[in-house]
Amino acid sequence: MNWTMGGALAALAIVGGALAVWAPEGSSQANAPQAELTRVTAERDAAEMALAEARKEIERARNAAAAAKADSEKAVAKARQDAEAALTSARDEANKAVALARAEGDQKLATAQAEAERAMAALKRETEGQIAAARAEVQKAAAGQKPGESPADTEGAVAKVRADAEKALADLRKELAQCKTAADGQSARCATGGPPAGGGVVTAEAIGRELDRNGSIALYGIEFDTGSSKLTAQSRESLDEVVKLMKKDTKLRLLVVGHTDSEGDFGINRDLSEKRAQAVVADLVKHGVDARRLSSAGVADLAPVSTNDSEEGRARNRRVELVKR
């Protein structure tokens, strides 16, 4: 634009000079080129001012864009930092829950072993007393037998007592072995007071005893459709046992906790576990339990009782837990 305006001004200057030479002084022909030169000069100055203003506006736009980009980068960095902090916090909470669950499992196992050993010792003492009494009877019978009796009859009674005692001891040893197996996550009978992972109905009486002893119990007989909060028909029997307990113990209040394994998105699992706990509460209320005695919570995979690296472990982690309030 500057070269064009400069050329026009130069041409006007030449024409104006020629007219000034040939036109009479003071005539309109002499003044016209000068006026045109003045007008064109003014237009050039205006154009240059507009160009300068446009350049300033472009610069302001560039600065605004740079500032917006910097703000966006700060916001992204802040969001990433917040997400990492939330993830770290969730992992810490999960690790604490795992450590607590393991500690509780070890304590329950030790208690079960001690109880089994005490029972074995008591049964052994009782059996020894029965055997001693039977031997005394044998000796008395041998000293003065009635007609028709023989020492073999009394010895048979002693043998029967001994066999019964040995069977009882074998049963206790089997119970103790199951408790030891529970430490490796293979059986929940001693560790949780309930059936092993994969289902099973726990009676109202057994649920009540476990709640009184440990304050909580996992019910694997309450099941849902995959990825859903819809209770299966197989859950009815376990739910009825909970209803029976609540109606028998009218002061009992329960927190129903939903647990999932670690498969999938944590947020989705958290929502699913909450909805499953709510579904259990709704079913209990529907069957006559006062809603004011029930509450629900969903914790997703934050409180595992087994590893999530195997299908068996994940099956144990997917559960409904009742907590005494």
Residue 265: give its domain's CATH number.
3.30.1330.60
Whether 97 is in a domain gets the answer: no
Same domain, 6 and 57: yes
Same domain, 212 and 124: no
Higher pLDDT, 217 or 121: 217
Whether 80 is in a domain gets the answer: no
Residue 197 DSSP one-character state: T
Same domain, 215 and 305: yes
> Looking at 161-175, 242-256, 291-305, which range is the least confident one?
161-175
pLDDT at residue 325 tops 90: yes
Percent of the chain with pLDDT over 90: 43
Cβ atoms within 10 Å of 141's Cβ, excluding its own: 17
Same domain, 247 and 293: yes
Domain count, the chain: 3
pLDDT, one tens digit per residue, over 66-121 is 888 888 788 888 878 887 787 677 777 767 766 776 776 667 666 666 665 665 66
Residue 57 sits in which domain range?
2-73
Same domain, 177 and 197: no
pLDDT at residue 184 tops 50: no
Whether 288 is in a domain gets the answer: yes
Which of helix, strand or coil describes residue 168?
Answer: helix
> Looking at 6-10, 144-148, 282-286, which range is the least confident one?
144-148
pLDDT at residue 5 tops 60: no
Average pLDDT of the chain to the nearest whole number: 78
Whether 127 is in a domain gets the answer: yes
pLDDT at residue 203 tops 60: yes
Read off the pLDDT band of 4 (50, 70, 90).
low
Closest CA to 216 of 101, 79, 78, 57: 101
276: its two tokens: 């499953």
Read off the pLDDT band of 196 (50, 70, 90).
very low
Q: What is the mean pLDDT of residues 273-290?
A: 97
pLDDT, one tens digit per residue, over 27-70 is 565 577 788 888 888 989 899 999 999 999 999 989 988 888 88
Whether 81 is in a domain gets the answer: no
> Looking at 16-25, 48-57, 242-251, 276-285, which range is the least confident one?
16-25
Same domain, 205 and 117: no
Return d(Cα 288, Cα 246) in angstroms, integer.
9
pTM for this prediction? 0.44
Residue reference for tokens 């069957």: 287
Read off the pLDDT band of 316 (50, 70, 90).
very high
Whether 99 is in a domain gets the answer: no
Higher pLDDT, 217 or 83: 217
Same domain, 204 and 311: yes
In the sheet that holds 294-298, the strands lie side by side as 216-219, 319-324, 254-259, 294-298
Cβ atoms within 10 Å of 99's Cβ, excluding its own: 10
Whether 98 is in a domain gets the answer: no
Same domain, 157 and 197: no
Residue 323 is inside which H or E element, if any? strand 319-324
204: its two tokens: 């109202």
Whether 95 is in a domain gets the answer: no
Residue reference for tokens 């930092």: 81
pLDDT at residue 173 tops 90: no
pLDDT at residue 177 tops 70: no
Higher pLDDT, 108 or 254: 254
Q: What is the mean pLDDT of residues 216-224?
A: 96
